[in-house]
C-alpha cells in the first residue's frame, strides 16, 4: 500500500504567542460516520477476491469501444477521478474512466505527500467550527524539548513548538492503487485516452440537449472512438473549465489555478520522523520541511499561474523556499542551492462556486455542480477528502440521472495490495535486507503467486528490469511514467533518474520532463562542471550486493597500489554513509559521485580516493602520449586526507 504511518509535524513559534488547536465534537457527524463504519456486511461483500490478472491496456480500450453504454464515464485519472470510478464500480454501476495523460500525472502526484486537514484550513476550522477541517489533538513542547527532537532548529527567537500528527503517503502510488482497485472490480480504465468532445442527444420531452458520452482518442495510436454513458463526471482538476466549455461555451471559468512548488534535499537535513511547519512566513505563506522516502521535502509556494499540463518550477520559487528554510535552521546547517536534488510545481485547482452569487469567493474545499445538460463536475478539494468527495459526487450523479445504485461502499474498502497484507509478511515475500524490506515493499502491491513470480524473483526491488516490467503491468506507457509515478525516482533525485534513463525507453521525452518540469534545468545551471566521473557502483560492488563496503574500496585501491589501514578507511566511508549503517548504498554513491562531478565535495576524502582510482584505472595510453597534466603520480594517501 501507499500510506505510511503518521509522522509528526512541528509548528515553530518564533514569537511569544501560542496557537491553540481545538478538537471539535459534533455528535451528528460522529454518529453518521460510525453508521458508515458499521456497514460490515456491505464491506465484507465488496472485499471479495480480485481476479488474478489486471486486464491489459489494450483489453481496457476494447471494453471502452465495445460496451454499448456505461452507467458512468469519469473523465480524469487523478485522485478525485479514480476515487469516483472506484465508488461507482463498487456500487455495481458499469463504470469507465479515461485520462489523457498517465494516472496521477497532474496535481495528485505533485502534492506535499501529506494526508492532512491543511494548516491553511485551520483558521476556518476554528472560526467556523468546521468539523471536517479540524486537526488531531496536539501538545506543546518547551524550547529545550523542541531542540532535542529537532536539533537542526535555530535557537534564536525560539520559545517552543506545537506538535501535531499528519498522515504521510506516496501520492502517485496511492492514486495508482485507487485506479487499479477500480479496474480489479471491473471498471474499464485507460490512460493516454483524451476526450475530443462530448456526445449529446436531444431530450424529446424537455427539448434540451443532454450529455450522453464522449468522443475519445487513444493518444498513443491516434484512433478515435465513442464511449457512451448515462452520466459523465468531470474530474479533471485544473482543466475543469476546458470540459465545462465542451459542454457549453458560455459556461464561466470557475477554476482559479495556484502553483505550489516543492524541492527535495538530502535526508540528513531533517529527523526521520519529524517535520517542521511555519504557517506564517515572511510573505504570509506556509512553509513545510518534511522527511519523505529518506529525503527531505521543503515547500511550498502559493502563486497565481497559467493552466498547463507541464508546470515548471521557477528559480525564484526555489530560492524563496531555500531562503525560508534557512531562517529556521541553525547556522551550522547550511542548505545550499546545490543540495536541491529535484523540484516540481503542481497546480492547485482552487474553485469558485458556480452555484454561489459571490463569484469572486474562492473555495478551498470542493464543489459538486450539475449542468443543465447533466454534466456532473467535481472540482477543488484535496487528498485528505478524496474518498468523501467521490461519495458525494456519486450520490449527486445517481440522483440526477436516476441510476440504480445503492449507498457508497468505500469506507473500509481495501485497495490494491492491501488484501492479506500484514506488517510482518515482507521477509517471506521480499528476501531483502532489513533496510530494504519494510520500507520499500509497500510501494509495490504485488503478490508473487498472483503475478507469476517465484519467491526469488520477487526480490525485484533490486532489479531495475523487473521493476520496469511490473510498471508496465500497472499501465506505464512511457519512461516518464516509470521514473515519475511508478518508482518516484524523478521526484527524489533527477541526477540519478537521468543516469537510469538508458535502461528505460523514450529517452528524449523523459529527459525533457526532468530538465524542465522536475527542476533539473534550474539545478544544472547553478552548478559548475568539473572533471567527468565515470566510476560506477559495479566497479566497487563486484558481488552485486547493492552497497559498497570498506572491503570493496580497499580492493580497488590496492589494485592501484594505494594502501590504507582498515580503521582509517572506516572513518572515510563514514563521511558519506548518510544513514550510518556501515554501508555506502546506491543512492548515497550516486549523490556522492554527482557532487564530485559538480565539484562540490573536493574536500571529501572518499571522493578524492575514487577520483584517484578512476584516473589510475583509465590510464591505458602510453605515458609519452598523455597530456602533461595526466602524467602526475596518483595522489598519495597522506595528501588525499587518508593518512593518520
pLDDT of the residue at 469: 73
Peptide bond into 518 cis (omega under 30): no
pLDDT of the residue at 228: 97
| Domain 7-27+114-168+256-349 CATH assignment equals 3.40.50.300 | no
Angstrom distance (rounded) from CA 300 to CA 400: 39
Mean pLDDT in residue range 614-620: 56
CA-to-CA dists, residue 474 to 457, 460, 478, 490, 491, angstroms: 18, 15, 12, 18, 19
Query: Of 543 and 115, which is predicted with more confidence?
Result: 115
- The answer for residues whose C-beta is within 8 angstroms of residue 13's C-beta and 6 or more apart is 19, 158, 159, 160, 161, 162
Whether residue 246 is predicted with pLDDT greater than 80 in this model: the reply is yes
Tens of pLDDT, residue by residue over 107-147, are: 999 998 988 755 555 555 555 555 554 555 677 889 999 99
**Do you know the residue count of the chain?**
644
pLDDT at 564: 67
First to last CA, the chain: 49
Mean pLDDT of 266-282: 82
* Helices 79-89/386-401 angle, 10° precision: 50
Q: What angle do CA 145, 149, 151 make, to 5 degrees?
A: 100
For residue 277, name the pLDDT band (cuts at 50, 70, 90): confident
Residue 612 and residue 606: Cα distance in Å, rounded? Answer: 10
Task: Parse the chain into domains and list their residue ranges.
Answer: 7-27+114-168+256-349, 56-107+172-253+353-401, 432-526, 537-640
Mean pLDDT, residues 187-214:
92
Confidence of residue 1 (pLDDT cuts 50, 70, 90): very low
Distance separating alpha carbons of residues 467 and 239, to the nearest angstrom: 32
* pLDDT tens digits along 48-98: 555 557 888 999 999 999 999 999 999 999 999 999 999 999 999 999 999
* pLDDT greater than 90 at residue 219: yes
Above 90 in pLDDT, residue 586?
no
47 confidence band (pLDDT: 50, 70, 90): low
The mean predicted confidence, pLDDT, of the chain is 74
To the nearest whole percent, how much of the chain has pLDDT over 90? Answer: 33
| 56-107+172-253+353-401: CATH number | 3.50.50.60
Q: With 50 as the cut, is the pLDDT of residue 440 above it?
A: no
Give domain 537-640's CATH superfamily: EF-hand (1.10.238.10)
Q: Global pTM? A: 0.70
Are the C-beta atoms of 99 and 85 separated by less than 8 Å? no
Asked if pLDDT for residue 332 goes beyond 90, the answer is no
Asked whether 393 and 368 are in contact (CB, 8 A), the reply is yes
| In the predicted structure, residue 502 carries a pLDDT above the cut 80 | no
Q: Which of 219, 246, 261 is nearest to 98 (CA)?
A: 219
CB-side exposure of 63: number of CA atoms within 13 Å? 19
Q: Residue 436 above 70 pLDDT?
A: no
What per-residue confidence (pLDDT) applies to 457?
Answer: 37
CB within 8 Å of 548: residues ≥ 6 apart: 537, 540, 541, 573, 583, 584, 585, 589
Amino acid at each position: 500500500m501507499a500510506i505510511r504511518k503518521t509522522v509528526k509535524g512541528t509548528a515553530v513559534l518564533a514569537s511569544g504567542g501560542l496557537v491553540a488547536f481545538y478538537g471539535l465534537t459534533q455528535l451528528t457527524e460522529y454518529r453518521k460516520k460510525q453508521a458508515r463504519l458499521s456497514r460490515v456486511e456491505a464491506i465484507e461483500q465488496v472485499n471479495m477476491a480480485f481476479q488474478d490478472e489486471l486486464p491489459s491496456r489494450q483489453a481496457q480500450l476494447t471494453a471502452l469501444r465495445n460496451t454499448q453504454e456505461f452507467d458512468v464515464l469519469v473523465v480524469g485519472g487523478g485522485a478525485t477521478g479514480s476515487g469516483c470510478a472506484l465508488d461507482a464500480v463498487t456500487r455495481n454501476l458499469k463504470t469507465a474512466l479515461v485520462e489523457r495523460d498517465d494516472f496521477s500525472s497532474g496535481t495528485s502526484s505533485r502534492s506535499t505527500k501529506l494526508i492532512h486537514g491543511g494548516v491553511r484550513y485551520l483558521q476556518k476550522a476554528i472560526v467556523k467550527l468546521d468539523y471536517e477541517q479540524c486537526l488531531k489533538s496536539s501538545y506543546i513542547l518547551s524550547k529545550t524539548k523542541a531542540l532535542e527532537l529537532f536539533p537542526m532548529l535555530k535557537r534564536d527567537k525560539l520559545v517552543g513548538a506545537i506538535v501535531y500528527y499528519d498522515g504521510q503517503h506516496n501520492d502517485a502510488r496511492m492514486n495508482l492503487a485507487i485506479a487499479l482497485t477500480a479496474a480489479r472490480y471491473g471498471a474499464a480504465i485507460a490512460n493516454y485516452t483524451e476526450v475530443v468532445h462530448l456526445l449529446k442527444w436531444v431530450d424529446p420531452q424537455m427539448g434540451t440537449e443532454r450529455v450522453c458520452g464522449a468522443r475519445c482518442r487513444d493518444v498513443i495510436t491516434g484512433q478515435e472512438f465513442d464511449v457512451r454513458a448515462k452520466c459523465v463526471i468531470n474530474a479533471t482538476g485544473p482543466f475543469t473549465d476546458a470540459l465545462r466549455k465542451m459542454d457549453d461555451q458560455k459556461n464561466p471559468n470557475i477554476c482559479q489555478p495556484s502553483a505550489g512548488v516543492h524541492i527535495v534535499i538530502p535526508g540528513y537535513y531533517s529527523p526521520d520522523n519529524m517535520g517542521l511547519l511555519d504557517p506564517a512566513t515572511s510573505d504570509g505563506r506556509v512553509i513545510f520541511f518534511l522527511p519523505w522516502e529518506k529525503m527531505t521535502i521543503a515547500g511550498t509556494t502559493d502563486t497565481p499561474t497559467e493552466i498547463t499540463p507541464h508546470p515548471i518550477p521557477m528559480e525564484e520559487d526555489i530560492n524563496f523556499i531555500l531562503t525560508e528554510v534557512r531562517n529556521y535552521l541553525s547556522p551550522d546547517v547550511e542548505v545550499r542551492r546545490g543540495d536541491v536534488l529535484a523540484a516540481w510545481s503542481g497546480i492547485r485547482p482552487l474553485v469558485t462556486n458556480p452555484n454561489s452569487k459571490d463569484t469572486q469567493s474562492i473555495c478551498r474545499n470542493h464543489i459538486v455542480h450539475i449542468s443543465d445538460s447533466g454534466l456532473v463536475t467535481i472540482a477543488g478539494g484535496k487528498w485528505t477528502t478524496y474518498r468523501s468527495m467521490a461519495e458525494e459526487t456519486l450520490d449527486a450523479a445517481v440522483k440526477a440521472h436516476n441510476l440504480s445504485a445503492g449507498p457508497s461502499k468505500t469506507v473500509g474498502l481495501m485497495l490494491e495490495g492491501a488484501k492479506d497484507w500484514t506488517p510482518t509478511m515482507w521477509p517471506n515475500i521480499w528476501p531483502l535486507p532489513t533496510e530494504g524490506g519494510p520500507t520499500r515493499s509497500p510501494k509495490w502491491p504485488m503478490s508473487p503467486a498472483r503475478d507469476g513470480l517465484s519467491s526469488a524473483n520477487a526480490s525485484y526491488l533490486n532489479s531495475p528490469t523487473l521493476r520496469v516490467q511490473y510498471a508496465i503491468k500497472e499501465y506505464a506507457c512511457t519512461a516518464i511514467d516509470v521514473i515519475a509515478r511508478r518508482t518516484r525516482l524523478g521526484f527524489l533525485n533527477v541526477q540519478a533518474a537521468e543516469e537510469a534513463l538508458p535502461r528505460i525507453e523514450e529517452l528524449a521525452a523523459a529527459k525533457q520532463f526532468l530538465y524542465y518540469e522536475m527542476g533539473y534545468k534550474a539545478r544544472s545551471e547553478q552548478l559548475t562542471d568539473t572533471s567527468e566521473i565515470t566510476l560506477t557502483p559495479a566497479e566497487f560492488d563486484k558481488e552485486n550486493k547493492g552497497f559498497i563496503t570498506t572491503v570493496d574500496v580497499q580492493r580497488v585501491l590496492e589494485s592501484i597500489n594505494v594502501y590504507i589501514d582498515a580503521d582509517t578507511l572506516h572513518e572515510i566511508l563514514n563521511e558519506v554513509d548518510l544513514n550510518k549503517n556501515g554501508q555506502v548504498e546506491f543512492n548515497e554513491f550516486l549523490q556522492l559521485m554527482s557532487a564530485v562531478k559538480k565539484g562540490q565535495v573536493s574536500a571529501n576524502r572518499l571522493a578524492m580516493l575514487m577520483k584517484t582510482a578512476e584516473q589510475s584505472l583509465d590510464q591505458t595510453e602510453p605515458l609519452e602520449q598523455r597530456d602533461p597534466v595526466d602524467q602526475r603520480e596518483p595522489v598519495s594517501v597522506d595528501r588525499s586526507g587518508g593518512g593518520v
